[in-house]
Amino acid sequence: MNRNIPERSLSPPPEKGVSTHDHEWEPEGESPYIEDGAAIFVEYCTYAVTKSVDMGLRGTEEFAVGPECDESRQYRFEIAWVEEIRPDEPNITYLASEFDRFPRIKEGILIDIELKGDITNIDPDPDYGTVTVEYDNWRAKYKADPKPQVDPHPR
């Protein structure tokens, strides 16, 4: 028995929402947000189709003539360490992987840093950037992780 089976195209269907422009990312509000052991960046694309109009003696101006892009992206830097700054003695650094051994750091100090601290340094590179936050005599460093640790016990 020979059935006529229609040939199927081997090319994948076109992706929905494929960008037709290079995104022009701008940070949203007071990005990054510092919370839950992370520095979270939120960015929106500000691209819009424009047309250049000759304004005579005033030169040319760009006017939006098409839809604006509504794409956004979010990425986060995880806490890497917290450092106690001691003026007359060496500083003490607590690695994030050791926070369970130091509940005071995890429960109290980190919360104070996140709620009351000032961001003193931002490198927003999504792959290798850092954010530093300081409060009182404490400093916290949040880092992008180009090679995230794999959970040895996946669920």
Sign for the pseudo-dihedral over CA of 106, 130, 73, 65: positive
Token pair, residue 21, equals 């422009």
Spatial contact of 73 and 19, defined as CB atoms under 8 Å apart: no
Q: Is residue 68 part of a domain?
A: yes
Task: Please say if the pLDDT value at position 144 is more than 60.
Answer: yes
State the total domains in the chain: 1
Find the Cα–Cα–Cα–Cα dihedral 46, 51, 55, 59, rounded to 10°: 60
Reported pTM? 0.67
Q: Is residue 50 part of a domain?
A: yes
Q: Is residue 84 part of a domain?
A: yes
Q: What is the mean pLDDT of residues 124-130?
A: 89
The range of the structural domain enclosing residue 39 comes to 25-143
Q: Model confidence over 12-37: pLDDT tens digits?
A: 444 555 556 777 788 887 879 999 89
Q: Is residue 78 part of a domain?
A: yes
Query: If we measure between CA atoms, which residue out of 44, 43, 61 comes closest to residue 52?
Result: 61
| pLDDT recorded at residue 9 | 40
Task: Please say if the pLDDT value at position 135 is more than 90.
Answer: yes
